[in-house]
Structure 1
Amino acid sequence: MDEENVSATLAVAVPAEKVFAVLADPATHPAIDGTGWVREPADRAALTEVGQIFRMDMYHPNAQDGDYQVANQVHVLDAPRAIGWRTGHDPKGDGHLEFGGWFWRYDLVPLGPSDTEVTLTYDWSAVPQSVREYIQFPPFGPEHLPNSLQHLAELVAPTSRAGASGG
């Protein structure tokens, strides 16, 4: 695979400020996640600055005992246009974080006063070869990003639209 990132885009009928507020709240991340791996935030403070660390409790059947925790570091914060974080962990439990070389980023483009185009990108271009030997990238199926954006849209949608669905 030549590409080292994947992205998906969805337009939502919500102002960018409201979408950004939901993304900046770690408590919403389990509901947004399209894999089911994100369980709950260990740190619940809103994301407000570059460099901020927020931890999330996770589950993956291939992880030892299934449960684990990641430490995310905000690396982009440009309210209400962009927010992103790189994912790492504390391998020795001593507070020294190591990052794997991948990050998540949401870019928000206002399409008018009450509509926003949201692009979610997962980038693994900085993952070292030693990590690529035991993790396949991306580590999720092609439906993950569109599912996550749909979950985000359902969270931010006005109540009158929340029950609307096709099919």
Structure 2
Amino acid sequence: MSPSAYLQTRQRLIAATPHEIFDVLANPAMHPVIDGSGTVRATTGQVQRLVLGSEFGMQMRLGVPYRISNTVVEYEQDRVIAWRHFSGHRWRYELEAHDSGTTVSETWDASRLRHKWMIRLLGFTRTTGPNMERTLERLAALFPDDGR
């Protein structure tokens, strides 16, 4: 399988400032609201605002319920936030301001995993890209275009 299957990025221009978008991404309670995969259910624990080094958990469901632990590994206010799952793959959001809004780039990086066959077997290499597109769609829907 192509290495690019384990490193995927999607982008979308959203009619909001980087600060407005970052506030959503840095709030774990908003992750179920924007999740395009349908697997993120709720936060676990008390973290209300993510910062570098934050550890936070999510209640998930993919056929059966489970929990996943994450650690924020990149953080630059209003520009970049990324977290790593216990298995090593990362979710990263990069924000770039424009006159008409903010380009949001979402990246899923499973390229460092030792057991890539499991990710492929579970179908993540096929479904993650479309799920990220839906996530960015849901994130954009929080900020209706007001003609900026």
**Which residues of 2 match residues 25-104 of structure 1 at below 5 A?**
25-61=27-63, 66-88=64-86, 100-104=87-91
Normalising by structure 2, report the TM-score.
Answer: 0.87
Q: Distance in 2 between matches of 1:38 and 1:125?
A: 22
The CA deviation at 1:138 is 2.5
Normalising by structure 1, report the TM-score.
Answer: 0.78
Q: List alignment gaps of at least 5 residues for structure 1.
A: 89-99, 162-167
Residue among 85, 107, 128 paired with 1:121: 107
Q: Does 1:105 align with 2:92?
A: yes
The CA deviation at 1:145 is 1.0
CA 116–40 in structure 1, closer or farther in 2 if over 3 Å, else same: same
Bigger Rg, structure 1 or 2: 1
Q: Indicate the percent of aligned positions where both proteins have the same amino acid.
A: 31
Counterpart residue number, 1:12: 14
Tell me which stretches of 4 or more aligned residues in structure 1 moved more than 2 Å: 43-49, 131-135, 137-142, 158-161
Q: List alignment gaps of at least 5 residues for structure 2.
A: none
Name the aligned partner's letter for residue 87 of structure 1. H
RMSD (Å), alpha carbons: 1.9
SS at match of 2:88: strand
